[in-house]
Amino acid sequence: MKFDLLKTCAQSGARLGLLKTDRATIETPVFMPVGTQATVKTLSPEEIEEVSEGIILANTYHLWLQPGEDIVQKHGGVGGFMNWPHALLTDSGGYQVFSLSEQRKIEEEGVHFRHHKSGAPLFLSPEKSIEIQKKLGADIVMAFDECPPFDASYQYMKESVERTLRWAERSKKALAGSDQALFGIVQGGPFQDLRKASFLGLENIGFPGYAVGGLSVGETKEEMLASLDYVKTLLPKDKPRYLMGVGTPEYLLESIARGMDMFDCVHPTRLARHGGAYTKQGRINIKNLQYADSLEPIDETCGCHVCRTYTRAYLRHLFKAEETLGRRLVSHHNLYFLKTLMRGAKDAIRHDRFGDFKNDFLREFDASKR
């Protein structure tokens, strides 16, 4: 994997970059749709191609449990399994261990926890996570980390950050010899000195890219942006910066303004499955009665297949009739909407006007909330 920083927006500090993996060359900033279980929910790979920039995320935890990494490996990895010939990133499984499992015991060696459905005892460690991620075969893989709640105590967070650093070193060692690119994850919650210690520790180990973890986990927008304002001062300019778990149009633009390059989030597709659709004028819910006989597309300025083809009335009908095509079409639109937004962002960075672009977009997008 290689990363070239092409440009930094003079107006905002937003970055334009080029991420090259063996399977794809991707301009950043980039939003990566989430293909949790080797499928972006409701969409086929051909559709994902239309609505993404050629890189998606898959979840190590889920694929480890179903169908198991060996079956995926037999297909040549997640790409062969789901028929996705482009770039892939897998997470470490750590986030799911801490968000899905209610009973868990963290030790130096790793984490004992229970299956989120069956309750069966499970164990994940840096070595185990990397072993699975090797078999899943993504271009970019993540170091195994703990993602504590944003409001964890300073003492807890300090010990966690130190342990996560030792896990990062073990992750790197476990991946030695692979051509997969391993990203380290900066943790530390709201504490600047812990964020700094986390980053410096990771830098000391040495990674081709750095992720920012422990954000978008329930803290306020102000808290999140304040953390990001600090973390961006730590991160090296020549490495890609991946902000995990973001998101929405607002958060994406605010994070790009803070120098972040890569993003992932289930939100746009989860929202879609409940009828929530992005428009330039803000979010609408297509199930609302007011769209029952609307011959308009979701967003008349959107160039996606769904907006060029279907009316709000038809989409609403599909939801009311509980037809899965509705969830699929709105998922398609929402991802395309973000792709268009990111393309606009890249163009604005190129012309040193990302600040204006962000403000213009948010003025129109947020108007619906006022």
Q: Which residues are catalytic?
A: 91, 264
d(CA 93, CA 98): 9
Binding segment toward its own copies, per CB under 8 A, in 124-132, 234-242, 322-330, 355-363: 322-330
**DSSP readout, 305-359?**
HHHHH--HHHHHHHHHTT-HHHHHHHHHHHHHHHHHHHHHHHHHHHTT-HHHHHH
- Measured from the Cβ of residue 278, the count of other Cβ atoms closer than 10 Å reads 26
Where helices occur in 103-220 by DSSP H, the ranges are 126-136, 154-175, 192-205
Q: At 217, give phi and psi (nearest 5°).
A: -120, 30
Q: Binder to its own copies among 135, 158, 172, 327 (CB under 8 A)?
A: 327
Residues 262 and 1: beta-carbon distance below 8 Å: no
What is the spatial order of strands in the sheet that 111-114 belongs to?
104-106, 111-114, 121-124
Q: Binder to its own copies among 238, 323, 347, 360 (CB under 8 A)?
A: 323
Using rule CB under 8 A, residue 333 touches its own copies? no
Using rule CB under 8 A, residue 285 touches its own copies? no
List the x/- string, 136-165, binding to its own copies by CB under 8 A: ------------------------------
Using rule CB under 8 A, residue 85 touches its own copies? no
Question: Toward its own copies, which CB reaches closer, 266 or 362?
Answer: 266
Using rule CB under 8 A, residue 292 touches its own copies? yes
**Amino acid found at 320:** K
Closest distance of CB 104 from its own copies, Å: 23
Contacts of residue 9, Cβ cutoff 8 Å, sequence gap at least 6: 15, 16, 348, 349, 352, 353, 354, 355
Using rule CB under 8 A, residue 295 touches its own copies? yes
Using rule CB under 8 A, residue 318 touches its own copies? yes
Q: Binder to its own copies among 6, 10, 71, 200 (CB under 8 A)?
A: 71
The residues binding its own copies (CB under 8 A) are: 37-39, 41-44, 62, 66-67, 70-71, 74-75, 81-83, 292-293, 295, 309-311, 313-314, 316-318, 320-321, 323-325, 327-329
